[in-house]
Amino acid sequence: MKIAIRNGRLIDPANHVDQVADVFIAAGKIAAIGSAPSDWHSNKEINAQGLIVAPGLVDLSVHVKRGTLATELAAAAAGGVTSIVCPPDTDPVLDEPGLVDMLRMRANAQHGAHLYPLGALTKALGGEQLAELSKLAQAGCIGFSQADAAIADTQVLWRAMQYAATFGFTLWLRPEDPYLSREGAAHDGEVSSRLGLNGIPSSSETVEISRIIEISRGTNVKCHLSKISTARGVEMIRAAKREGLPITADVSIHHLHLTDIDIGHFNPNFRLSPPLRSLRDRDGLIAGLKDGTLDCVVSDHTPRPREAKQVPFGEAAPGATAVELLLSLVLRLAESAKLDLPDALAMIGARAAKTAGIAAGTLSVGVAADVCVFDAGAYRHITEASLKSAGKNTPFMGYELPGVVRATIAAGHIAYEQAS
Amino acid sequence: MLSKKNIQLNENGELHHLLAIEGLPKRILERILDTAESFVGINEREMKVVPLLRGKSIFNVFFENSTRTRTTFEIAAKRLSADVVSLDVARSSTSKGESILDTIANLSAMHADMFVVRHSASGAPYLIAQNVAPHVHVVNAGDGRHEHPTQGLLDVFTIRKYKKQFNHLTVAIVGDILHSRVARSQIHALTTLGVPELRVIGPQTLLPAEIERLGVRVFTSMEEGLRGVDVVTMLRLQNERMNGALLPSASEYFSRYGLTPQKLALAKPDAIVLHPGPMNRGVEIDSAVADGAQSVILPQVTYGIAIRMAVMAILAGATR
């Protein structure tokens, strides 16, 4: 299949490209930029006049379950996302190579976003016995994680770091102390006090970041910290990076837009993990993103069935459906936080790919053709019907958001095209 | 997206649901207190019934057990001539896995006009209020550790009875503020009604984060906190708070925060003592105080009926 994307504004931050140029795709790869290769005959032409042509988006946190894999990959494609990293809390947990093979096979059959699994760091995410990391890596796991589960036993965490460091594996750790966050539903502060919700103090994050940094220092293991939510956490990561420790970190798009005040009258769609925190924290996260302390932005896509959110706030399952909203919310952030468009796109593109160590996020000639074509000036109304995901649980329901995806191409296949 | 506007008020600014004291304007609180005043007389008559809510169906839906509160709502509804049904849901349908909204939908099909709801989860009455038909009213009878608005109202009603005005008072709320829905409702009611100095007293483990943002002064020493106050509200300390690391023991708690005659002597000589009940004698309050001349704990219970009558009558539009 040969595809030509004509007259779009090509933004490829990794190659410092921002200009109007045609893109030519053949045999699943970027064949040429600018002028067509000799003897070019398109099977498909996409007119991108007035649109932006960018590398397909890279989302480092998309939770998938077996039953809804196809739906959620279609949702990713509709959101312009062509690479997703999935935490190991799939159903069943990714703690055996065979399960990883099966998941990847099923994902590949969809011809949508590329799926990069994280293996379970410990068996059944129990935090006690190491999973077979080398075998899981051979099966295609790009790193190891506990998803949202903790390793309470510090000795197990230390051993896991030593073992992972031995083979150069990266640990993806969600910094949350299981004791300080126990039974918590909202950030411990004025809002949780007013609403009478169990608080999750900021220290639940910073205590765990500190523990991870201190133990990892001796092992030199590569650690990626997932879903930072506090300003103090950003400061600690900034200091660790300055020290030269091999640490990276991401932040969820929700935490860059929202705070605990937005919970309003107990709206369960604002129950997230980590919890939405204070205005000061949100400002600290944005500053951390701007100065590179936080490497990239994730959607932390967590679709939930309707009944999981039709309960009181504290009983609601945490998380939000988000992979389809990532581009729009990053465009909105670019506006509100005054980011250049190429810089903003890099946070869900080249910077994310580099963080995960995956080949994605650029439009260099010869790389796999993952492309997102979108209209940055158009607005979309977020409704349940407008979301392809099985989950309709988003804090942004009813919003008008900028950015409409016109086409998504994954490895040279049209993964999504907006009906005209 | 759920609305962030105050769902307790209708488009004319009148009370439609009573879910929390927070966010209610002073004029509405005063109207409830004034209406309750007119019902106090009825409750003292031989014939204690008025026909204001004749033909209305009120469902008391208690997802969490409470005989006392449920009973006062029942009495209040009956004195207004409403048809009242009490369901102890804690022991029936939800324990069989039925969701809150399914329970409410089923009861709505029986043509309820008003739900009085208690639930162990903060915010549950909001979920219900957002899912009932527009003509149906919801009264929060206590949700988790969030609010217990009718209790807060009967507390301020009692204070007004004894102290007449709010604008010169110093009030102290003592004990387990963290887990107390009564404390939150009382704080919002007193600040809205213009109490110039409101204090909370307790150990740090029982004080919610940033509680001073609600307009209170925080004291950890009971002796300092009680000095010169006009009103003392003692909160119930539940036994399960002794588990974990909140408190070492009931007797240690009593030694620091129990209200004894000696500690009460630090307050103004005419200070009154409130307690939302049920009391733990010897844990948060000494019997000599609970049964003493300054205690207004039993009048609180009496006024509780009038307050609940007032709330139900106002919600149903039966008063002008």
Question: Please, what sign has the CA dihedral across residues A353, A358, A363, A369?
Answer: negative
Give the Cα-Cα-Cα angle A43, A46, A51 (nearest 5 degrees): 165
User: Which of A195, A267, A307 comes nearest B122 by C-beta?
Assistant: A195
Phi, psi of B270 (to 5 degrees): -100, 20
The pLDDT value recorded for residue B95 is 56
Mean residue pLDDT of chain B comes to 93
CB distance from B145 to chain A under 8 Å? yes
Is B235 a domain residue?
yes
Contact (CB, 8 A) for A34 and A336: no
Question: Are B216 and B238 in the same domain?
Answer: yes
Is A395 a domain residue?
no
Per-residue confidence band for B4, with pLDDT thresholds at 50, 70 and 90: low
Is B164 a domain residue?
yes
Count of domains forming chain A:
1
Question: Are B180 and B285 in the same domain?
Answer: yes
**CATH number for the domain that contains residue B100:** 3.40.50.1370
CB distance from B109 to chain A under 8 Å? no
Give B-chain residues touching A258 at CB under 8 angstroms: none
Find where tokens 């029982």 sit: B206
Question: Are B153 and B295 in the same domain?
Answer: yes
Count of domains forming chain B:
2
Average pLDDT over residues A25-49: 96
User: Which of A188, A307, A312 comes nearest B122 by C-beta?
Assistant: A312
**CATH number for the domain that contains residue A292:** 3.20.20.140
In the predicted structure, residue B92 carries a pLDDT above the cut 90: no
In the predicted structure, residue B1 carries a pLDDT above the cut 50: no
Neighbouring C-beta atoms of residue A183, cutoff 10 Å: 8
Is A188 in Cβ contact with B209 (below 8 Å)?
Answer: yes
In the predicted structure, residue B248 carries a pLDDT above the cut 80: yes
Domain of residue B87 covers 26-147+301-315
User: Which of A188, A190, A266 comes nearest B123 by C-beta?
Assistant: A266
Question: Are B142 and B220 in the same domain?
Answer: no
Is B6 a domain residue?
no
Is A51 a domain residue?
no
Compute the nearest-CA separation of B63 from chain A (Å): 12
Question: Are B236 and B139 in the same domain?
Answer: no
Question: Are B104 and B213 in the same domain?
Answer: no
Compute the nearest-CA separation of B67 from chain A (Å): 23
State which residue of chain A sits closest to B145, comparing Cα positions: A196
Rounded CA separation A8/A21 (Å): 6
Rounded CA separation B189/B147 (Å): 11
The pLDDT value recorded for residue B98 is 82
Question: Are B241 and B290 in the same domain?
Answer: yes
Rounded CA separation A378/B210 (Å): 42
Rounded CA separation A204/A185 (Å): 13
Give B-chain residues touching A269 at CB under 8 angstroms: 1-2
Is B71 a domain residue?
yes
CB distance from B208 to chain A under 8 Å? yes
Rounded CA separation A69/A66 (Å): 5
Is A49 a domain residue?
no
Compute the nearest-CA separation of A263 from chain B (Å): 9
In the predicted structure, residue B320 carries a pLDDT above the cut 60: no
Task: Please tell me whether the overall predicted TM-score, pTM, comes out greater than 0.90 for this model.
Answer: yes
Both tokens of B101, joined, read 């909204």
Give B-chain residues touching A194 at CB under 8 angstroms: 22, 184, 214
How many residues belong to chain B? 320
pLDDT digits (tens, 9 = 90+) for B6-59: 899 999 999 999 999 999 999 999 999 999 999 998 888 888 889 999 999 999
In the predicted structure, residue A379 carries a pLDDT above the cut 90: yes
Give A-chain residues touching B123 at CB under 8 angstroms: 195, 197, 265-266, 312-314
Question: Are B97 and B81 in the same domain?
Answer: yes
pLDDT digits (tens, 9 = 90+) for A169-222: 999 999 999 999 999 999 999 999 999 999 999 999 999 999 999 999 989 999
**ipTM tops the 0.90 cut:** yes
Question: Are B126 and B225 in the same domain?
Answer: no
Q: Is A142 exposed, middle or buried (0-12, 13-18, 19+ CB in 10 A)?
A: middle
Question: Are B122 and B181 in the same domain?
Answer: no
Domain of residue A115 covers 56-354
Listed residue (B45, B104, B57) closest to B84, CA to CA: B57
Distance of CA B123 to the CA centre of its chain: 15
CB distance from B210 to chain A under 8 Å? yes
Compute the nearest-CA separation of B204 from chain A (Å): 14
CB distance from B100 to chain A under 8 Å? yes
Is B15 a domain residue?
no
Active site residue A295: no
User: Catalytic pick from A89, A177, A295, A300?
Assistant: A300
Is A255 a domain residue?
yes
Rounded CA separation A37/B10 (Å): 67
Give A-chain residues touching B181 at CB under 8 angstroms: 196
Per-residue confidence band for B2, with pLDDT thresholds at 50, 70 and 90: very low
Compute the nearest-CA separation of A325 from chain B (Å): 15
Both tokens of A109, joined, read 């059959």
Is A414 a domain residue?
no
Is A70 a domain residue?
yes
CB distance from B119 to chain A under 8 Å? yes
State which residue of chain B sits closest to A198, comparing Cα positions: B145
Is B320 a domain residue?
no
Is B281 a domain residue?
yes
- Among B2, B101, B143, the strongest candidate for a mutation testing the A interface, having the largest count of A CBs within 10 A, is B2
SS3 A120: strand
Contact (CB, 8 A) for B241 and B179: yes
Q: Which residues of B70-106 are buried (b: 16+ CB within 10 A; e: fewer)?
A: bebbbbbbbbbbbebebbebbeebbeeeeebbebbee
Contact (CB, 8 A) for A360 and A294: no
The pLDDT value recorded for residue B93 is 58
Neighbouring C-beta atoms of residue A244, cutoff 10 Å: 7
Question: Are B187 and B292 in the same domain?
Answer: yes
Question: Are B140 and B63 in the same domain?
Answer: yes
Is B209 in Cβ contact with A189 (below 8 Å)?
Answer: yes
